[in-house]
Structure 1
């Protein structure tokens, strides 16, 4: 899988360069609203085209699932692309966004890349090959309790349907933790769990392209990822808990009492 990881890295860096070149022109960008609090800029679309062109040049028969252009037919190799995770942050000049690319083969994640162009931080993972940050091995934290833990999250901002459940989860976790951070890019939050910058993370309503690369990073860094029912259906449900094994267990125990039937 190393050649495919190399292609993912090349595509992520190229898209990141394109994003950086656009930061001085944010006020003049064309922005479309896809749904409530859900935006796409022309930079999202250009970044996605750049990634797809690089992948297609190397692997023309591979399938693609991309946030902006949807599913592109191909074989059992599926590239999962979020060309700019944290678009709202980008449009406001808030410095927390990234490119996320994953490769799934016959339903199993094999390669994951998350690139933060502002900090030039490249998070990479291969199944069975560990997780890296700029070619240095990374691991999840050894935090063993909520006291002193720093936890990441994302608000369910696209719909109010699960807001009450989320508030209950938030209260349960914030009571004893050192703090909760909501930075606005799930891909980077997951990468930060893998790198030991966050002790855990949870969110409601993610899409596959938001989480695919980050999930592989966390698993290869020694962490655990499940849905709210302690199963592996997070891709299907969009609901995710992640952390080192101990913190994941603690977070699950705190979150589970607030999980409604529609979130299972």
Structure 2
């Protein structure tokens, strides 16, 4: 299989969906919001973007499976499986905050082979493929070279449901804030991970995440020379819904801090 050619087709399909979302943002009506659960919002833009993305990706690999946020398709017993979030950062989108993205990962069996994250408002296309580099708008990217937390800028996310872990998470925030340049909360896990991949953030951690939030961004981090794991340091980050992404140099220091609270 020509993974580079496959990735170029995925990039094109992802860009089409991003262009649709950008166009809809110009006249978005907040009255169209639906609630899937506490603070868990969705709009017609999410749903239509997902339908469009599934349709176009299905043309690239007919018969492939899908794991999707809005359940347009939910077929997993295939050799190739797409893991997609058509609009990662829905809350930002709804409130007119310009950081949201399209996230597309392709797995062959249980291994990633394509990762694409399109940050829509800056027009930044992050992409990678099996055997290739991690790219930002076709230029190779690498993780940062920060060697300790005192040199670092970190990203995280705040839980908006399942608050039972919130007390120790706040303790973790307090600990981290005293060790680094600062903590940022952008509101799109896919973008956070892409920013680790290109060295803007030195590390990122969050829990309560779904596979479609992180699958593409995690592969970008790995392909850019970084490390990705759960809060115990294991590889099962998609299953445990906990993600720590680092430049590799900060892993031990951050993981030891996280393990004090989780």
TM-score normalised by the chain length of structure 1: 0.95
Aligned mate of 1:34, from 16, 33, 36:
36
Distance in 2, Cα, partners of 1:97 & 1:31: 16
Give the corresponding residue for 2:248.
245
Per-residue deviation, 1:28: 5.2
Secondary structure at the aligned position of 2:175 is classed as helix
Distance in 2, Cα, partners of 1:74 & 1:25: 39
Per-residue deviation, 1:209: 0.3
Q: Which runs of 5+ in 2 are unaligned?
A: none
Give the corresponding residue for 1:207.
210
Contact 1:15 / 1:99 at 8 angstroms: preserved in 2?
yes
Give the corresponding residue for 1:163.
166
1:65-123 deviations in Å (ceiling 9; x for gaps):
11001513562100011000000000000011000000000100110000012111000
Distance 1:11 1:145, change over 3 A: same
Give the corresponding residue for 1:262.
none
Which deviates further from its counterpart, 122-131 or 200-209?
Answer: 122-131
Secondary structure at the aligned position of 1:245 is classed as coil
Aligned: 1:72 with 2:78: no
Per-residue deviation, 1:29: 5.6
Which deviates further from its counterpart, 241-250 or 196-205?
Answer: 241-250
Aligned alpha-carbon RMSD (Å) = 1.2
Give the corresponding residue for 2:21.
19
Per-residue deviation, 1:127: 2.5
Q: Which runs of 5+ in 1 are unaligned?
A: 260-264
Report how many residues are paired: 259
Which deviates further from its counterpart, 100-109 or 160-169?
Answer: 160-169
Contact 2:99 / 2:120 at 8 angstroms: preserved in 1?
no
Distance in 2, Cα, partners of 1:87 & 1:71: 20
1:39-86 deviations in Å (ceiling 9; x for gaps):
111000111011111111222210011100151356210001100000
Aligned mate of 1:198, from 201, 211, 223:
201
TM-score normalised by the chain length of structure 2: 0.96
1:138-180 deviations in Å (ceiling 9; x for gaps):
0000000111310000011122111012112111211111000
Which deviates further from its counterpart, 242-251 or 2-11?
Answer: 2-11
Which deviates further from its counterpart, 69-78 or 117-126?
Answer: 69-78
Secondary structure at the aligned position of 2:26 is classed as helix
Distance in 2, Cα, partners of 1:124 & 1:225: 17
Aligned: 1:7 with 2:5: no
Distance in 2, Cα, partners of 1:74 & 1:258: 37
Give the corresponding residue for 2:96.
93
Distance in 2, Cα, partners of 1:55 & 1:148: 41
4+ runs deviating over 3 angstroms: none
Distance in 1, Cα, partners of 2:186 & 2:197: 16
Distance in 2, Cα, partners of 1:123 & 1:178: 25
